[in-house]
Amino acid sequence: MPRIVADYVESLGFLYPTAVDAQQNVDAGGSGFLLGVEYEKQSELAHVYVVTNRHVIDRGSKVVLLAGGPGSPVIHDLSAKRWTEAPEDDIAVCPLDQSAAFSDLPMVRAASMLTKNELEDDTATYRSDHPSFGDDVFIASRLASDQLRDGSVPAVRFGTLVSGRPVAVNHKSGFYQESFLVEMRSISGHSGSPVFLHYNDATLHMQQGLRWQTPSSGIRLLGIDWGHLEQVSSGISTGTGAWNAGIACVVPAWKITELLEDEGLVKERKKTERAIP
């Protein structure tokens, strides 16, 4: 895994129930990140969105503290704003009342998101730009604990892709969420965090051994962390219990792309671009 540049962490936003909670950095809410959607005719400019899980918003955490970028930290109270939620996925987005240049504000580029077409390209099985078993993955997130003097801190955790394709996982909200499985511990506070995929430049073949491929195109957004698989056990003395199995569940990035095609969001982007000389 290469060294992680600060931009990935600085694009994070921490979500809280109230502005006071954000100021005090309390152990509540979840995580999110800034996503930039390029202008059609000015690719250096972006429409800026806060992206997180739907369940974080539904539980009332709509105040965003941005830890990176100019003037940080900055608190945006988006409680009165229109959040757009995916009807069948654990994703929600809200536009900030601003546009920004990619060079001026740390954010994830929408163009860097993994697409479904890439996943379904059967000719790419052994290419380094195709997700597969064992690829390196990292999450930029919020680590919250009462043992930390500041309540919570930005953090990066690492893991590997368990399966090359998403699977349906039973969500606590009562539906099956299509999810990538990643061997990486997801804990409270990580919900809504961006998960990135780093393509390996080498492939291990059973017959041919290790083969180096053409250098990869870099790091892509795999999706959003929404939770983890639980291991359930029962015993006569201990009763029934569940614990974190160490497998994180990640909503595929193309689900964000689909949500951004919401009619209202598209109209807002076009209106904003028409107002720019």
Nearest residue to 159 via CA among 64, 229, 232, 240: 229
SS3 35: strand
- Residue carrying the six token digits 């290469």: 2
What's the pLDDT at 253? 96
Superfamily for domain range 6-274: Trypsin-like serine proteases (2.40.10.10)
Does residue 113 have a pLDDT over 50? yes
- Amino acid letter, 182: V
pLDDT at 26: 81
pLDDT at 9 over 80: yes
236 against 153, higher pLDDT:
153
Residue owning tokens 């994070």: 12
User: Sorting pLDDT into bands at 50, 70 and 90, what band is 184?
Assistant: confident
- Per-residue pLDDT of 154-182, as tens digits, reads 888 899 999 888 999 999 888 999 999 99
CB atoms within 10 A of CB 227: 24
For residues 130 and 215, the model is more confident at: 130
Query: Tokens 């099956």 correspond to what residue?
Result: 176
Boundaries of every domain in the chain: 6-274
In angstroms, the first-to-last Cα distance of the chain is: 43
Q: How confident is the model at residue 237 (pLDDT cuts 50, 70, 90)?
A: low
DSSP 3-state assignment of 192? coil
Q: What is the mean pLDDT of the chain?
A: 83
pLDDT digits (tens, 9 = 90+) for 48-79: 999 999 999 999 999 999 877 666 788 999 99
State the pTM of this model: 0.85
**In sequence order, what are the beta bridge partners of 179?**
167
Q: Which residues pair with 265 in a beta bridge?
A: none
* Rounded Cα–Cα distance for residues 161 and 200 (Å): 11
